[in-house]
Amino acid sequence: MVHAAKGLFISCDIPMAQFIINYNTSVPQSQKFIIHILDDTRLFVRSDADRMIRDAIKEFREKNAYEKPA
């Protein structure tokens, strides 16, 4: 029997995919969003996780941004 799921296909580089996978493991079980890891650079995630993933990436980038000393 086939089980269909509505979701988002994410294609990115390996480090970003690893970030998303690690983020998925850090959230509670009820908020897990990865449906299937297709390979090192492609993921299939729940469609309602779009904003949550984007916010986590934005926060990560803001924390790791370089600011030139004055």
pLDDT in tens, 25-66: 999 999 999 999 999 999 999 999 999 999 999 999 999 888
Listed by start position, the domains of the chain span 7-63
Q: Is 7-63 a CATH 3.30.70.1220 domain?
A: yes
Mean pLDDT score, 15-31: 96
pLDDT of residue 68: 84
User: What crossing angle do the helices spanning 14-26 and 50-63 adopt, rounded to 10°?
Assistant: 110
pLDDT of residue 66: 82
3 vs 53, more confident: 53
Q: Which two tokens stand for residue 26?
A: 């850090």
pLDDT of residue 65: 80
